[in-house]
Amino acid sequence: MTTPGSTLLILGAACSAVAALLHLGCIVFGGAWYRALGAGEAMARMAEAGRWHPTLVTLGISSVLIVWSLYALSGAGYFYRLPLLRTALVAITAIYLLRGFAFMPLMSKFPDNSLTFWIVSSTICALIGVIHLVGLILAWPRLSGYAD
């Protein structure tokens, strides 16, 4: 039986899991995937040269996204209750929304990424953030019954 917000949190979990798998695809399939997903030419070339840096960065991002997926599933009631569940879900939601709506300062830090990358990825992050936000708001009364 679904509870308020659980469907949206499951959708948010699925979005994070797909993003994690796409990142892992970059490691498996190399430079072409780094380019296609907008990681920039420098990352693609390092991957093609067999450098460890792209793999470590990509594994780190994938790991975080998998943990976020598990937290959303936990909030939906489809996974064990994870520690600091409410706090983590608020932080995850905030990060997605910040990445989605406040990407302009990041652009100067990663000049190798195209404007198209920033617009597309920021739109996706904003949508995932909104999905999490609405799911979290609807699930909050149920989640508030537990101490973080």
| Interval 116-137 mean pLDDT | 95
Determine the Cα angle at 78 with ends 92 and 56, to 5°: 45
Is position 148 within any domain? no
DSSP assigned state of 9: H
pLDDT for 146 equals 58
In-domain check, residue 22? yes
The total number of structural domains in the chain stands at: 1
pLDDT at res. 48: 97
Tell whether the model's pLDDT for residue 145 goes beyond 70: no
83-107: per-residue pLDDT in tens? 999 999 999 999 999 999 998 888 8
The residue range of the domain holding 83 is: 6-143
Tokens of 81: 């209750």
CA 14 to chain centre: 10
pLDDT score, position 64: 98
Tell me the C-alpha distance between 108 and 79, whole Å.
39
Quick check: is 1 in a domain? no
73 is a domain residue: yes
Residue 79 lies in a domain: yes
- Has this prediction a pTM greater than 0.85? yes
- Give the residue-averaged pLDDT of 113-137: 93
Can you give the pLDDT at residue 114? 80
Residue 105: inside a domain: yes
Q: Give residue-wise pLDDT tens across range 10-63.
A: 999 999 999 999 999 999 999 999 999 988 899 999 999 999 999 999 999 999
Higher-confidence residue of 85 and 147: namely 85
pLDDT of residue 148: 63
The rounded distance, in Å, linking the Cα atoms of 81 and 72 is 10
**Separation between Cα atoms, residue 74 and residue 89, nearest integer Å:** 10
Band (71; pLDDT cuts 50, 70, 90): very high
